[in-house]
Structure 1
Amino acid sequence: MDRISALRNVEQALRAFEEGETDLAATEERVLATLRTYATEFDEETGLVAYAGRGPEAVDGVVVVASSRTEARERVLSHAEAADRDAVEVERLS
């Protein structure tokens, strides 16, 4: 999914919410699904890959895009200064 498609999908979700066709929870789910699809297909166009942090609570589940596993780990760590650096890993999302 390219950026324009992702933005259109988010816009459609917001429009449906504004018009009362869906509630907030359904809108959040639709926007999240769009973002996850966009993130996992990111590498097809940019060479960047989505990675999720694994380890201490402060970084577990933090998702970033990066050109390498090392860069992704550093980006995840930047979101949680107190995390034990040695306990932090990243895994590629697909």
Structure 2
Amino acid sequence: MDRIAALRNVEDALAEYEQGETDLESLEREVVGVVRTYATEFDGGLAPYRAQGDGPADGLVVVAESRREARERVRDLSGVDREVAVEQLDE
């Protein structure tokens, strides 16, 4: 999915919400799905990973080529200097 297609899909989801054709929870799921698809297709080989544990890293989602790279990205983005656990998300 290219950037223009992703933006159109988000715009379509927002329009459905504004017209009362969907609820907020469905809108959020749709937008997250569009962004996740865009991010993982943007540069082949990437997959989404979610950090687990305590502190600022918990719940952070990153895209990476491997579990090791995902842990590094989570530490960089969250400022955590200890090892973090990550799990690959289903697509």
Query: How far did residue 7 of structure 1 move?
Result: 2.8
> RMSD over aligned Cα, in angstroms?
2.8
Q: Point out 4+ residue stretches in structure 1 off by more than 4 angstroms.
A: 17-26
The Cα shift of 1:60 comes to 1.1
Runs of 5+ in structure 2 lacking a partner?
none
Distance in 1, matches of 2:25 and 2:47, equals 28
The TM-score with structure 2 as length reference comes to 0.69
TM-score (norm 1): 0.67
Aligned pairs for 1:1-94 (under 5 A) are 2-3=1-2, 5-18=5-18, 27-36=27-36, 38=37, 42=40, 46-81=44-79, 83=80, 85-86=82-83, 88-94=84-90
Please list every run of 5 or more consecutive structure 1 residues that lacks an aligned counterpart in the other structure. none
Show CA shifts across 1:21-49 (max 9, x none).
5676654443234335x27x936x71111
The answer as to whether partners of 1:59 and 1:77 remain within 8 angstroms in 2 is: yes
Q: Distance in 1 between matches of 2:74 and 2:12?
A: 31
Identical-pair percentage: 48
Superposed displacement of residue 92, structure 1: 0.4
Aligned mates of 1:89, 1:24 — CA distance in 2: 30
Give the paired residue count. 89
